[in-house]
Amino acid sequence: MADTHFGFKTVDENEKAQKVAGVFHSVAQKYDVMNDLMSGGLHRIWKHFTIAQSGVREGSRVLDIAAGTGDLTKAFAKKAGKSGEVWHTDINSSMLQVGRDRLLDAGFVVPSLLCDAEKLPFPDNYFDCVSVAFGLRNMTHKDAALSEMCRVLKPGGRLLVLEFSKVWGPLKMPYDFYSFKLLPMMGKLVADDPESYQYLAESIRMHPDQDTLKEMMLASGFGVVNYHNLTGGVVALHKGFKL
């Protein structure tokens, strides 16, 4: 079994998947409140921008990967309407359940499916839009997952990858202080789980930067890839088009 990263630690690939599963089983119930707290609500703006860039309209077929508590799924379901088809998927049963309950409570009846982004159980050329928000970073074989996302898209379809990225130089020091000092502290106080939020900070630093991710998407089969930096590169939205 090959080695990979779990935050700053080197672990074998099997162990990474188990540790990531442990993080998300542990944070699922507090995930939404922590998301608002940690980002000061900014994640809502980043997601709003993602939806605006999606091209999803009435009747679209959309796959939300690593969808967790379902923020994007819900917004896509609104846009795709009754004639659309929107899937809420995640590898983690705790995150999927919290998301499914939230979607139902908000009046959205969409399929929720437990599945691994690296082996998608969907046919080729099926979706108009595939999204993965803050999920790719946690995957063991990112290339395999990106190739799967490309496979299930129709020609002309688009992949949206919303993910933490490399910050603009002058922001680096305050951002590091925030990530490595304040974040684990908030994780302890609010969720009694400092390790999961330490992993969050470390996994962000280990994730490919904007241009590297763009190259990975091109190598995975996307014909055109571009990206937008949001909040000084704290987050980037990559758009990949299958030709």
Ligand X SMILES: C[S@@+](CC[C@H](N)C(=O)[O-])C[C@H]1O[C@@H](n2cnc3c(N)ncnc32)[C@H](O)[C@@H]1O
Asked whether position 152 contacts ligand X by CB under 6 A, the answer is no
Stretch that binds ligand X, among 113-121, 153-161, 168-176, 205-213 (CB under 6 A): 113-121
Asked whether position 183 contacts ligand X by CB under 6 A, the answer is no
Stretch that binds ligand X, among 64-72, 80-88, 121-129, 230-238 (CB under 6 A): 64-72
Please give the C-alpha separations between residue 153 and each of 32, 39, 63, 88, 140, in angstroms, as whole numbers. 29, 31, 9, 16, 21
Of all helices (H) and strands (E), which one includes residue 161? strand 153-164
Beta carbon of residue 170, minimum distance to ligand X (angstroms, whole number) = 26
CB 149 within 8 A of CB 132: yes
Q: Residue count at the site for ligand X (CB under 6 A)?
A: 20
Stretch that binds ligand X, among 131-139, 209-217, 221-229, 232-240 (CB under 6 A): 131-139
69 is in an annotated binding site: yes
3-state class (DSSP) for residue 170:
helix
Q: What is the CA radius of gyration of the chain?
A: 17
Beta carbon of residue 145, minimum distance to ligand X (angstroms, whole number) = 6
Asked whether position 118 contacts ligand X by CB under 6 A, the answer is yes
56, 60, 80, 116: which one contacts ligand X (CB under 6 A)?
Answer: 116
CB 130 within 8 A of CB 157: yes
Beta carbon of residue 24, minimum distance to ligand X (angstroms, whole number) = 4
52 is in an annotated binding site: no
Q: What are residue 224's DSSP bridge partners?
A: 241
Return the residues of window 23-52 that contact ligand X according to CB under 6 A.
24
What one-character DSSP code corresponds to residue 203? H
Structure token digits, residue 52: 């605006």
Asked whether position 71 contacts ligand X by CB under 6 A, the answer is yes
Structure token digits, residue 165: 């990225």
Number of Cα atoms under 13 Å in the Cβ half of residue 191: 26
Beta carbon of residue 39, minimum distance to ligand X (angstroms, whole number) = 10
242 conformational bin, left if phi > 0, alpha if psi -120 to 50, beta if neither: beta
**What are the residues binding ligand X (CB under 6 A)?**
20, 24, 65-69, 71, 90-92, 95, 116-118, 133-135, 138-139
Q: Which residues are annotated as a binding site for S-adenosyl-L-methionine?
A: 69, 90, 116-117
